[in-house]
Amino acid sequence: MSRSIVYTSSPLLASPTPVWRSKFIVAAVALAFAGLVGRAAYIQVIDNDFFQKQGEVRFARTLALPANRGRILDRHGVVLASSIPVPSIWAIPEDVPREPVKLKQLAKLLGLSMADLNKKLQDEDKSFVWLRRQVDDTVGKDVMALGLKGIYERKEYKRQYPEGEAAAHVVGFTNVEDQGQEGVELAFNQDLGGRAGSRRVIKDRMGRVVEDMREQIAPVDGRDLQLSIDSKVQFFAFQALKDAVIKHKAKAGGIVVLDVQTGEVLALANYPSYEPGKRQHLTGEQLRNRTLTDSFEPGSTMKPFVIAQALQSHRVTPDTPIQTAPGRLTIGSATISDSHAHGVLSVTEVIQKSSNVGTAKIALQMPAREMWEMYSNVGFGQKPQVPFPGAVSGRLRPHKSWRPIEQATMSYGYGLSVSLMQLAHAYTVFGRAGDLVPLSMMKVAAPVLGQPVFDSQVALDVRHMLHLVTGPGGTAPKAQTMGYSVGGKTGTANKQEGRGYAAKKYRGVFAGLAPIEAPRISVAVMIDEPTNGQYYGGDVAAPVFSQAVQQTLRVLGIAPDMSVKPQIVTVPVEESF
């Protein structure tokens, strides 16, 4: 039986309550509510900048929209460098589950050790970390197939270099950020790179885009570059150089092929080289663009310029006799020697036989300033006007400091230094009408005007002398090319070591023109420190010249200017019963 309760009998409830207390409580609640409304209005309407910024810091992101880097093309449109989209793997470290089995699989796919992977996942930035950039498509698919939370994929552009090591020192390469680091990639980085766009978005904690904050800025793709390089000429030149360096067990080598008519660089190669797309274990020896960054004493390849200046000033004619006996010339305390005593030689024979004594005697007939100006006019002592980084100017001291012995030695290539590009460029004056055209790494469409250096008859006379160098009785018969007439000059110089010269370290050099009657190309070859028994330029560099000339003229469609005599070799065959 329930018991009835009379609440009014409670002293607390029965006590009279003041009306003001109820009103106070209601007013306090109303005031608090008004304060909340006011605070909300202040935060959301009046002064919301701080909170907007805090929200953006946590959830707003600016996504870069990469521009497609421009292609690098050869003169015929063959691709030397291009960009392709590839996946890159990134993570939100705090979201990645620590599942040993799957993490081990992830590390294996990305080519990381578990220690390296754990280090990346423990990065201070808990919202983003790169795990591996620019992986193969199959790797990207396999990684995403693991289904690991917090692991994501992003598309980036990666450069491809179809010509590989043959054109490495021309095109160079980019880093993982698609910025040029060497060669054309560096020299024309701004043109090739274009301008990246951007997109401002809000992401959720899973890294997914949920809203665009403003209109995106579209990227501007880089422009394509068409070089003067001929990819076929480049390949053949590189292969001939590589074979020679390996055959002669040399330290390195370089080759430059120029178009005499336009000054265009058709080929530029070095060995050792490298694969631009595989740069994990690169060394400075591989990276050096020796044709431009290395200067050396060019030896007897300087003699034609001295003879040309003597012809230009009418001091000599091609038939002027020069007494070179007894094969030695003493100037002060120094003695200049020829490799063989020749007696009286004509000026033409001085070049053909490569007489140091004869060249020095001719050089000493002219003022030092005249010889210095001539060397300067053909580009020595001046940086080649090509856009490659690191191109050197070589060394050509002011003529006022020359002593007679120094002028004499500089006439046959000691006491000054040049790059291989400068040497190939200088020889174009003999292939033209005595004028020097500017160099170009870009394809040239319009006719090119040159700067006069020698008279056209002087250039023709020197060409005849260079042709004799490659014939019987010359120093470079190995430069002869089947079907084409050639001319050039050998150079063999001891390498500088400290303040003197190394006794058994040489550079073998050959520079020349082809076809010699109507030159189209200038080719310079340098073999550094051959150690396999031969070191003369006529033995180690001239054969490379020969191969490069034959292939280049064939690629350019130049008709042979010499008859090719078929040779039938009979081999006795043993009879079998």
Q: Which residues are catalytic?
A: 300
Pick from 485, 391, 424: which is nearest to 266 by CA? 424
How far is the C-alpha of 519 from the C-alpha of 522, rounded, in Å? 8
Beta carbons of 253 and 244 less than 8 angstroms apart: yes
User: For 252, phi and psi rounded to 5 degrees?
Assistant: -170, 180
Residues in the chain: 577
- Take residue 319 and report the two structure tokens written for it: 């038939």
Quick one: angle between helices 137-145 and 100-110, nearest 10? Answer: 180
How far is the C-alpha of 396 from the C-alpha of 378, rounded, in Å? 12
How far is the C-alpha of 364 from the C-alpha of 351, rounded, in Å? 16
Pick from 187, 183, 217, 186: which is nearest to 200 by CA? 217
At residue 517, what is the residue type? Answer: E
**Cis omega before residue 398 (within 30°)?**
no
- Take residue 252 and report the two structure tokens written for it: 């390195």
Within 154-302, residue ranges assigned H as helices are 168-171, 183-187, 189-193, 231-247, 284-287, 290-293
How far is the C-alpha of 157 from the C-alpha of 24, rounded, in Å? 70
The DSSP output letter for 313 is T
Classify 121 in phi/psi space as left (phi over 0), alpha (psi -120 to 50) or beta.
Answer: alpha
How far is the C-alpha of 443 from the C-alpha of 203, rounded, in Å? 48
Beta carbons of 91 and 119 less than 8 angstroms apart: no
At residue 246, what is the residue type? Answer: I
How far is the C-alpha of 455 from the C-alpha of 310, rounded, in Å? 12
Pick from 82, 96, 172, 166: which is nearest to 131 by CA? 96
Residue recorded with tokens 């065959």: 573
**Cis omega before residue 326 (within 30°)?**
yes
